[in-house]
Structure 1
Amino acid sequence: EAAIARAKARKQEQQAGSEPAEPVDPRKAAVEAAIARAKARKQEQQAGSEPAEPVDPRKAAVEAAIARAKARKQEQQTGSEPAEPADPRKAAVAAAIARVQAKKAAQQQVVNED
């Protein structure tokens, strides 16, 4: 019964993923996936009234901390990717600005040392 519930949840996720009607925000997609997993887990627990392993609060806390760390790491990785402009002109302007700022900082450092 639990396997059937997992298969149904997986099939539902595939169907939901195959018909994106609008542009998908990565955060919204992650939230929807988490909700789908939670629903599948709930169905699985209802199908099998007794879990296979007793739930250890320490293990649950460790798993939750790991999940938070993974989510934080993924957020940082996805947050750093869009920093690069897609337009080559914008990239050139950004590079020029960075060079000027670096030059000014170096000049300021020389003035401060004197």
Structure 2
Amino acid sequence: MSEQADHIAVESDCQHGDDSHRHGYIGAKDDYLKRLRRIEGQARGLQRMVDEDAYCIDILTQVSAMTKALHAVSLGLLNDHMTHCVLAAAGEGDDAARVKIDEAMAAIARLAR
């Protein structure tokens, strides 16, 4: 089966409310979890820095690093959504594709704020 056919075959995998659905990030789930655990560690490190009265600029530098890490996760998830859920919906027709594109645009707008 071609890659495009795979996406179309899993079109229902991206639907909300379906307990059996698979999201586009599933193939990289372990990578995402590893990244999120690293970010969690960064957050604990920031708390420790504040607790230990670290220099403001050093704390801000770590906040920036954590923010970049969260943005990288967000962009990866957005890419997975576009290449899995949006592509699958495109195989269903214009209405389904429009819904997924609108979801992606709303997510982008939230990330850009």
Which TM-score band (shorter chain)?
0.3 to 0.5
TM-score (norm 1): 0.37
Point out the structure with max Rg over C-alpha: 1
TM-score (norm 2): 0.37
Q: Which has the higher contact order (CA 8 A, sep 6+)?
A: 2
